[in-house]
Amino acid sequence: MPVMRGLTLLIATRDPARLRAALTLAAANAALGGRTRVYFHEEAVPLLANPDPLIATAIETGATLIACQTGLAAAGLSAEELPEGVETGGLIGLLADLGDDRLDTV
């Protein structure tokens, strides 16, 4: 089996249907062994505060979930309020570490 390219998804809105689609895709890509990151950009950060079993599934399969630090501040949330395993970061760090990952916005 060829080595899979990484996949980085950027969630830009609070749309629960897009969230579920992104997390399902992330979990599948991670389960197949591809590096997988899901970045919750500004407006999407509050989605992490609403328990969704797919968040845990994506993390368990090896996907990295990242909450935008600016989005955390705007939502009045702290990193401690995020589900276990969710990291914090910014777009500069995400892009600096992109390598040859595919980058998609949902």
Query: Domains, the chain, ranges and CATH?
Result: 7-105 (3.40.1260.10)
The pTM of the whole model exceeds 0.85: yes
Q: Which two tokens stand for residue 45?
A: 């950060």
> What are the angstrom distances between the C-alpha of 57 and each of 2, 65, 94?
24, 11, 22
> Which residues are CB-neighbours of 97 under 8 A, at least 6 positions away?
none
Q: Which two tokens stand for residue 35?
A: 């590096």
Q: What is the pLDDT along the chain (106 residues), one digit of tens a residue?
A: 567 889 999 999 999 999 999 999 999 999 999 999 999 999 999 999 988 999 999 999 999 999 999 999 999 999 999 999 999 999 999 999 999 999 999 8
Whole-angstrom distance, CA of residue 32 vs CA of residue 54: 17
